[in-house]
C-alpha cells in the first residue's frame, strides 16, 4: 500500500537526485499536464500543492486507483502520469499498459515506496519511463517530471543500482552457459515464450492460445526450469541470445 502521508518528501539537497538517462531537457512553451494517481487523498493533495508552485507544470486531474487512472488518462490525455505502484482495485503497473493504449503520448512515472526489484522490472516492461521512491525531495518531483517530459528516463539511484546489478548478473549467467547446449523446449513452450517476450501476461497468453491460465503458469515454470533461469525477463534475454527465439 502507498504511504498515507506526504511526509517522506523533504527539501532537496545538492547531492541528491534521481538518475536521468536521455537527451538534455529543452524549453517548453506549454505547461506540462500531469495526472496524479495515488490511493491516498492526502498524498495526492500534497503533490498538487507542491506542483501548483511550478509555473511550467499543471495538474489536470487525479485518480485513486489504476482503473480510474485509465479512464482519466483517456479523457484528459496528460503529458505525464505520476502514479503509485500498489493500489486497490487495479495497481499502477497493471494500469500502465492500458494507459499507453488510451493515451499513447502520455509518459508514466511510478512514484512509490516499493523498492522491490520485481516492481521496478515489471514497471519498465509495462511502459513506465520513470521509477522514483517517495523518499525523494519535493523539488526532485518537479525536476523528474520536466526531465521525463523532455525525453529522459528517471530512476531513483538505489533502484538504478539494482537494475544495473541485475543486468550484469544476467549477462554473466548467460555467458557462463554459452558453451552448454540449449535445452530443448516443446513447440508449445516456444509459443508461450514468444508471447512472454511481447510483454503479455499469463491471462492474455491463455486467451491467445485458448488454454487455461494455470496451464500457462505451468509452461512458464517449465521454461524457467529447463533454462535454469529465475525470471521471465531472463528467459526472454537468454532465448534471444541463444537464438532459440527471434523477436521481430
Which CATH number is 78's domain given? 3.40.50.2300
CATH number at residue 228: 1.10.10.10
Indicate if 35 and 140 belong to the same structural domain: yes
Q: Which three cell numbers stand for residue 30?
A: 506549454
pLDDT of residue 11: 39
pLDDT of residue 16: 42
Each of the 248 residues of the chain gets a pLDDT tens digit; together they read 444 444 444 433 334 445 554 444 445 578 999 999 999 999 999 999 999 999 999 999 999 999 999 999 999 999 999 999 999 888 898 999 899 999 999 999 999 888 887 788 888 888 888 899 888 887 889 999 999 998 888 887 777 666 666 666 655 655 555 545 556 788 899 889 888 877 788 999 999 999 999 999 999 999 988 888 878 777 777 777 766 665 44
The answer to the question of residue 166 being in a domain is no
Sign of CA dihedral 223, 229, 233, 239: negative
Which residues make beta-bridge pairs with 107?
80
pLDDT of residue 63: 95
Angstrom distance (rounded) from CA 88 to CA 108: 19
Judge whether 189 and 219 are in contact, CB under 8 Å: yes
Indicate if 76 and 125 belong to the same structural domain: yes
3-state DSSP assignment of residue 242: coil
- Strand 130-133 to 153-155 pairing: parallel
Please count the structural domains in the chain. 2
Indicate if 36 and 114 belong to the same structural domain: yes
Indicate if 35 and 141 belong to the same structural domain: yes
Angstrom distance (rounded) from CA 134 to CA 72: 23
Among candidate residues 246, 145, 148, the one with its CA nearest the CA of residue 193:
246
- Is residue 246 exposed (0-12), middle (13-18) or buried (19+ Cβ within 10 Å)? exposed
- From the CB of residue 28, how many other CB atoms can be counted at a distance below 10 Å? 13
Indicate if 65 and 100 belong to the same structural domain: yes
pLDDT of residue 20: 54
Indicate if 145 and 192 belong to the same structural domain: no
Range of the domain at 76: 19-156
The answer to the question of residue 143 being in a domain is yes
Indicate if 230 and 128 belong to the same structural domain: no
pLDDT of residue 12: 37
Indicate if 119 and 205 belong to the same structural domain: no
Among candidate residues 52, 53, 54, 37, the one with its CA nearest the CA of residue 2:
37
Indicate if 188 and 146 belong to the same structural domain: no
Angstrom distance (rounded) from CA 4 to CA 61: 19
Of 123, 156, 189, the residue that ends a domain is 156
Amino acid at each position: 500500500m502507498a504511504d498515507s502521508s506526504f511526509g517522506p518528501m523533504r527539501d532537496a539537497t545538492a547531492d541528491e537526485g534521481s538518475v536521468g538517462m536521455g537527451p538534455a531537457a529543452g524549453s517548453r512553451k506549454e505547461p506540462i499536464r500531469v495526472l496524479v494517481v495515488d490511493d491516498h487523498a492526502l498524498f495526492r493533495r500534497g503533490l498538487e500543492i507542491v506542483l501548483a508552485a511550478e509555473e511550467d507544470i499543471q495538474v489536470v486531474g487525479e485518480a485513486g486507483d489504476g482503473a480510474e487512472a485509465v479512464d482519466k488518462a483517456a479523457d484528459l490525455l496528460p503529458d505525464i502520469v505520476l502514479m503509485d505502484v500498489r493500489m486497490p482495485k487495479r495497481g499502477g503497473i497493471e494500469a500502465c499498459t492500458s494507459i499507453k493504449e488510451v493515451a499513447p503520448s502520455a509518459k508514466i512515472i511510478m512514484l512509490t515506496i516499493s523498492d522491490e526489484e520485481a516492481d521496478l522490472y515489471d514497471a519498465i516492461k509495462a511502459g513506465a519511463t520513470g521509477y522514483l521512491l517517495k523518499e525523494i525531495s519535493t523539488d526532485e518531483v518537479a525536476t523528474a517530471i520536466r526531465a521525463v517530459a523532455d525525453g529522459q528516463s528517471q530512476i531513483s539511484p538505489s533502484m538504478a543500482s539494482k537494475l544495473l546489478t541485475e543486468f550484469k548478473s544476467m549477462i554473466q549467467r548467460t555467458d557462463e552457459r554459452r558453451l552448454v547446449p540449449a535445452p530443448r523446449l516443446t513447440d508449445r513452450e516456444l509459443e508461450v515464450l514468444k508471447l512472454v517476450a511481447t510483454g503479455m501476461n499469463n491471462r492474455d497468453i491463455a486467451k491467445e492460445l485458448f488454454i487455461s491460465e494455470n496451464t500457462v503458469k505451468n509452461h512458464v515454470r517449465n521454461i524457467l526450469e529447463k533454462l535454469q533461469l529465475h525470471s521471465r525477463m531472463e528467459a526472454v534475454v537468454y532465448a534471444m541470445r541463444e537464438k532459440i527465439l527471434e523477436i521481430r
